[in-house]
Amino acid sequence: MERGGSLWLGGRRCRGPGQALSRHSSGAALTGRWERRGGEGSRRLAVGGGPGRDDGPSSSERLGGGRPWDDQGRLGRNDARRVASSSSSSSSSSSVAKNQDDLFHIQKLWLELVEVVSYLREDELETVRNALQIAYGAHKGQKRKSGDPYIIHPVAVACILGELKMDADSIVAGLLHDVVEDTDKLSFQDIESMFGECVRHIVEGETKVSKLKDNLSSQQGGPGGNKSDKKNIDMQQLFIAMTKEIRIIIVKLADRLHNMRTLEHMPAHKQKKIAAETLTIFAPLANLLGMHTIQDELEDLSFMYSQPEEYRSLSVRVKALKMDQSPVVYEARKALISVLKEDPFFNQIASKLDVRMRSRSLYNIHKKLKSNDLQLRDLQHISQ
């Protein structure tokens, strides 16, 4: 079947609200491969979309990372169903090169993401890939404080969620969590029509939590209450959101973790403010959910930015102590593995043995030192 000289990438298009995304039988997979259809007529590149109508070129149908926007920069209702962009037959060669550059970057991001979400089913991977293409188009042209393309952030959030083995809806929500709030090119209804009510609920909930946090932070210490009161209100609202949909909070924690990992690009006063907020709100939430690895990293990063001198001195001392103790810890680990392997009862209930070495986080050690009024010389007694 020929479709008026169209170029297609990907084999998915959106149906109605709540319906599954379908795969077009003749769509090319996301490998950066161009598929030419028809003669010398118009060309189309569907980034994350399937075969759509050829309504003729317009000012809103130029490739912007795979998204068709109207004259106000918003995604049109009809275009939201096909998520495609097209150009007239008179498009210049530089435009084609730009499209190919977009394809290359999308493919590069996809290879990074698929490595950590490979546990998903094939149809779920297709949905995640479609969400990546949509997020790429929505954030195209935006930069982070580091100067990197903004799309790096939602992909990193999705990767963190993938490391937690979250479901496909959570991964998609991680990719799209900023598109409504930060781009104004997609609405919550658009997200629901493409990915279903569940994804919309997570994205909308995460956005509301972000706005709540910002509003309350701006009121801290103002009339009508003190900082402690405002923090308690903030925590209560987060708990309410958590009881309605736990994945809202998990996506928010992944978002905060990546922001903390890249906090060096923010001004010093904002670093301290964000670090304090992370210690009082997000690290306790991670602890409440049993996500202790994320809790430890959030606390250590917050400690590093809020008290840099103490962090550096403690970090050097702990690193030296670990090097001194590593031979003893290694021998203890080897002895434990040997005993467990020879235990008949253990062998009956366990098919695999994995013994890992773990020490307290820097922030946890710092708290112990402070609460017990100890000095660095006493570190050896509490760092295990």
Residues forming the active site: 181-182
What separation, in Å, do the N-terminal and C-terminal C-alpha atoms of the chain show? 68
Of 65, 284, 23, 49, nearest to 154 by C-alpha is: 65
Instruction: Please answer whether residues 152 and 257 qualify as being in contact, where contact means their C-beta atoms are separated by less than 8 angstroms.
Output: no
Q: How far is CA 342 from CA 13, 330, 357, 374, in A?
A: 56, 19, 21, 42
Instruction: Please answer whether residues 142 and 210 qualify as being in contact, where contact means their C-beta atoms are separated by less than 8 angstroms.
Output: no
H runs (alpha helix) in the chain: 77-82, 93-114, 122-139, 152-163, 168-176, 179-183, 188-195, 197-219, 227-244, 246-261, 268-277, 283-288, 292-306, 308-341, 344-349, 362-371
CB atoms within 10 A of CB 317: 17
Residues 6+ apart with CB under 8 A from 25: 11
Strand partners, 36: 7
Beta strand 12-13 pairing with 85-87: unpaired
Placement of tokens 């290879």 in the chain: 111
CB atoms within 10 A of CB 40: 8
Of 211, 214, 188, nearest to 200 by C-alpha is: 188
| Rounded Cα distance, 268 and 253, in Å | 22
Strand partners, 223: none
